[in-house]
Amino acid sequence: MTTQASVLENLAEVRAMIRKHKRNDFIFSIVGLLALMIGLLTLLTLFIDLVIDGYPRFNLDFLTNYPSRRAASAGLLSAWVGSLLVMLVTFFSAVPMGVAAGVYLEEYAPKNWFSDLIEINVTNLAGVPSIVYGLLALGLFVYGLNLGESILTAGLTLGLLILPIVIVTTRESIRGIPVSIREAAYAVGATKWQVVFHHVLHYSSGGILTGIIIGMARALGETAPIITIGALTFIAFLPPSPVSDVAPFINFEWLESGFTVLPIQMFNWLSRPDHAFHINAAATGALIIVVTLLMNGTAIWLRYRIRKNIKW
Amino acid sequence: MVTTTSPVKAESRDLNFYYNGGHKALKGITMPLYEKRITALIGPSGCGKSTFLRCFNRMHDLYPGNKYDGQIVMHPDNTNILDNGVDPIEVRMRISMVFQKPNPFPKSIYENVAYGLRVRGERSKRVVDDKVEEALKGAALWDEVKNRLHDLAFNLSGGQQQRLCIARALATDPEIMLFDEPTSALDPIATANIEELMSELRNKLTILVVTHNMQQAARVSDYTAYMYLGELIEYDDTDRIFTNPSRKETEDYITGKFG
């Protein structure tokens, strides 16, 4: 029989136990918060440091000047134009190929040991050090295909580098589409192509776009493979303009042009002994971080916008 | 409910079905579906009723390794829709399906209903408009949505979504419509609406419905098939099945001694 005393004693035990468990909760939340803060604060400190160091160069001239022997009048013009053009090539090479490959692997490829092998390899490729891609590109694009040390070579190299990222995110977004939606489309007589084109790609576009933007943001900051294929470090001219005022209004000469990109310009300034150039490097670093953050922010915003109307 | 005999619209002949891995889910099913009648499939979970239903629009073809053995013959053209030479897409153009959980596309109400026509390459806006209106009226949804056809389908209630799915299946003038437990995710009022709708659709087309709910089978169907462990135990007029079944197993299931 339970007496009043034993009930009270029992209750005291239960309360002691709950207090103990709550304490574990509290300890873990502190540890987790610390881990998070160490990562975030380190990055934030770095960023603030770059901003403070680079502050004297935050003006329009910095973006419109070519590099110069005098640090104060040196600018990023050729570097950001180069980055932009290289990104353009990267986008048009990696996106169609990556999305098509992802769709094929997920929707069309028969599921067997061979497709498993490909899957493992694609995932692995995403982790291959970028310098290895640089060596591959040096052999394949620069010497093998004779594309030279050009914007085209750099764009294709970075395209190759982010291809696995695009493939993997495409597959993941596609996989998130419920079977019931596919079956609904098949049930009214749609072919596989119609299901993929009208539904699968449409509803997963948010996720795919996110993958593309994150891949592009990574490509923007890549330095090692670009150095390997021989980007110039001091360049005081712009590639020929892709658009012109005479027919056919568009030309592709710029693809063969020599170039530099933002991280290389930064690297170049950083390796100079003169401290004034380090200010330029810091400003460039801050710019790269801001652009990367903007790209990632856009990715998150786009995903939210597109997902908002879709509830499974 | 059945007043006159009706011609056979489709019949399954000695149909066996094997899932990927070899599990035999259907064992020698032979039964007719009568034209413009509602046939209900009942039986405990796992008895193969959904598997049987999904043979009619070759849904099993979407997953590798599944195998049909036997025939489902459609009349009047005597096509065996399980034949390897018959494209499953052709079958799905003739036989449409409504699923267990409402599964509208994340598109507008209008585009959901129009999708079957888009797949068929219909480009005339007038034709599509007319068909969408007709299908929504047929699915008893027109009055509720006519002023917001371009709203997202997800904004409809569960029962409305299911009627939208019926409209989508109806828009392409199918010969047979399959219902896979169409009310299991709905509340009683929405369920009553769907049942009433099915009775009305009976004037236009042949219906095969899987249901978990025996009362539902008794209320809406003209014929009922009782399945157990992949076999067809008994198939008869619904009135007969529920009042005077000839097999002991059917009676046990109907009366709730089992299942």
pLDDT by residue (tens digit) across A62-89?
Answer: 777 777 777 677 777 777 888 888 888 8
B146 Cβ under 8 Å from any chain A Cβ: no
CB contact under 8 A, B116 and A188: yes
Given a contact cutoff of 8 angstroms between Cβ atoms, the answer to whether A47 and A286 are in contact is yes
Chain B residue whose CA is closest to A180: B103
**Scanning every residue of chain B, which has its alpha carbon at the shortest distance from the alpha carbon of A204?**
B106
Q: Is B184 on the interface with A (CB under 8 A)?
A: no
User: Which amino acid would we find at residue B145?
Assistant: V
How many helical (H) and strand (E) elements, i.e. helices and strands, does chain A have?
13, 0
Give pLDDT, residue B213.
Answer: 86
pLDDT value, residue A312: 65
Q: Work out the average pLDDT over A192-197.
A: 92
Q: Establish if B115 touches chain A: CB-CB under 8 angstroms.
A: yes
Which residues of chain A are within 8 Å of residue B172 when distances are taken between CB atoms? Answer: 188-189
Task: Give how far Cα A111 sits from Cα of A114, A119, A171, Å.
Answer: 8, 10, 14
User: CA separation (Å) from B200 to A1, A273, B196?
Assistant: 66, 87, 6
| B119/A199 touch (CB, cutoff 8 Å), yes or no | no
Predicted confidence (pLDDT) at residue B3 exceeds the cutoff of 60: no
B53-111 pLDDT, tens digit per residue, is 999 999 999 988 899 999 999 988 989 999 989 999 999 999 999 999 999 999 999 99
Lowest mean pLDDT among A133-147, A183-197, A238-252, B38-52: A238-252
> What pLDDT was estimated at residue B4?
62
Q: Which residues of B touch A310 (CB under 8 A)?
A: 106, 154
Predicted pLDDT at B169 = 92
Other Cβ atoms closer than 10 A to A200: 22
* pLDDT score of B258: 72
Sheet holding B8-18, edge to edge: B24-34, B8-18, B67-74, B79-80
CB distance B52 to B33 below 8 Å: no
What ipTM does the predicted assembly reach?
Answer: 0.91
Flag the least confident range among A44-53, A104-113, A271-280.
A271-280
CB distance A162 to A219 below 8 Å: yes
- At A250 the three-state DSSP class reads strand
- Average pLDDT of chain A, as a whole number: 84
pLDDT value at position A211? 87
pLDDT higher than threshold 80 for residue B170: yes
Q: Tell me, what's the pLDDT at A29?
A: 93
**In chain B, which residues have their Cβ closer than 8 Å to the Cβ of A311?**
106, 154
Predicted confidence (pLDDT) at residue A311 exceeds the cutoff of 70: no
Q: How far is CA A195 from CA A245, A310, B164, B173, in A?
A: 43, 17, 19, 21
Chain A residues close to B168, C-beta within 8 Å: 184, 188
Q: Supply B48's token pair.
A: 């193969």
Contact flag A194-B119 (C-beta cutoff 8 Å): yes
Res. A6 pLDDT band, cuts 50 70 90: confident
- Which pLDDT value is given to residue A61? 73
Look at A182 and B62 and tell me if their CB atoms are within 8 Å. yes
* Confidence tier at A151 by pLDDT (50, 70, 90): confident
Give yes or no for B104 touching A (CB within 8 A).
Answer: yes
Which tokens is B194 given?
């769907």
Dist. CA B7–CA B143, nearest whole Å: 34
Tell if the CB–CB gap between B116 and A189 is shorter than 8 Å. yes
Which structural domains are found in chain B, ordered by start? 8-254 (3.40.50.300)
pLDDT of residue A52: 85
- For the stretch A223-241, pLDDT in tens is 788 887 877 666 766 777 7
**B101 reaches A (C-beta below 8 A):** yes
What integer is the mean pLDDT of B162-173? Answer: 92
Band of residue B237 on the pLDDT scale cut at 50, 70, 90: very high
Question: By C-alpha distance, which of A214, A217, A179 is closest to A200?
Answer: A179
A59-307 to CATH, choices 1.10.3720.10, 3.40.605.10, 3.90.1150.10, 3.30.420.40? 1.10.3720.10
CA distance B122 to chain A (A): 13
Considering CB atoms only, which of B59, B89, B154 is closest to A183?
B59
Residue A233's pLDDT is 65
Q: Does B158 touch chain A (CB under 8 A)?
A: no
Mean pLDDT of A281-308: 84
Structure tokens at B179: 């219902």
pLDDT value of position A112: 82
pLDDT band, residue A244 (cuts 50/70/90): low
d(CA B71, CA B143): 41
pLDDT in tens, B212-233: 888 899 999 999 999 999 999 9
Cβ pair A186:B62 closer than 8 A: yes
**Can you read off the two tokens belonging to residue B79?**
């096509």
Hey, CA dihedral for A52, A224, A231, A157, is it positive or negative? negative
Over residues A256-273, the mean pLDDT reads: 79
In angstroms, the separation between the Cα of residue A187 and the nearest Cα of chain B is: 6
* Nearest Cα residue in chain B from A110: B64
Q: How far is A191 from chain B (nearest CA, A)?
A: 7
